[in-house]
Structure 1
Amino acid sequence: MKTITWKLHLKANPNKVFDLLTTAEGITKFRSEKANEDGDVIHFLFPNGQTYNSQIIKSIPNEEFHLDYFNSLVKFELKQAENGGTDLTLRNENVPESDFYEVHAGWISVLMNLKAVADFQCDLRNHDPKKTWDQGYVDN
């Protein structure tokens, strides 16, 4: 098992970033086609039709958000940056070695779209179920 770590600087403040990461409305703006919250579970629907029920493990508003994600552990850590923005660290732990390179690259796609939405109110995804990561499209 391996761990992926990425850092991202956003102009948006931690409150806005936390809302994008943790609310159904926020999640659908940058990450999945649909998301529903049910207590401590987020139900994801992705562009390729795949679904996942993600257990929320830890949530400290505007600071940390941890969840089970495809049988691995994803941790988002938010820190207020000097310019009022957010320094985000993503850690994806327990990623199977056989999935590492795909998941590693996939997080870049997700995080860059998060930046586009948070800082520029622009969704970079194509929203076409025939043009997803499975077919080699990074703008899924």
Structure 2
Amino acid sequence: MYPSGPWRGFWEQLGWGRQFMRELVLNFSDGQVTGSGVDVVGRFTFLGQYDEAGNVVLVKKYAGKHQVLYRGQYDGEGTIAGRWSILDLWTGPFALRPDHSAQVEDIEAVEILPGSSGHREEMDRAGLGADREPVVAGGPGQLTDA
């Protein structure tokens, strides 16, 4: 359900506003969650559990500091959204989502030569069907140096 790897996230607290988590990595395996990151408070680790329905419970522990309880649910679009709390004293919303921008896909390079045999097949394989005009830096039909 949840992918292991880089994630993005934030938490909000009255007086602090929205605080983003950086260097956030979460690992999901057999109902267990582990992870780490850093935010305005400092470096932290995550340890917790998730179930098949997408419910997640995490304990965020800051090195040498306090712990924060996170309870969230799958929103149907890949995000874990919920509320964090420190005892019964402080609480606020949070959201975590996979960082797809950090993942690199291998894309096959295809040389496309006009007039060569199989030109249409090469265009189709490259996702540039004959009915699509390539978009280059200056816009459709405008070739510019990028």
- The TM-score, its normalising length taken from structure 2, stands at 0.37
- The TM-score, its normalising length taken from structure 1, stands at 0.39
Q: Which has the higher strand share?
A: 2
Q: Which has the higher helix share?
A: 1
Indicate the structure whose relative CO is greater, using CA pairs within 8 Å and at least 6 residues apart: 1
Q: Which of 1 and 2 has greater Rg? A: 2
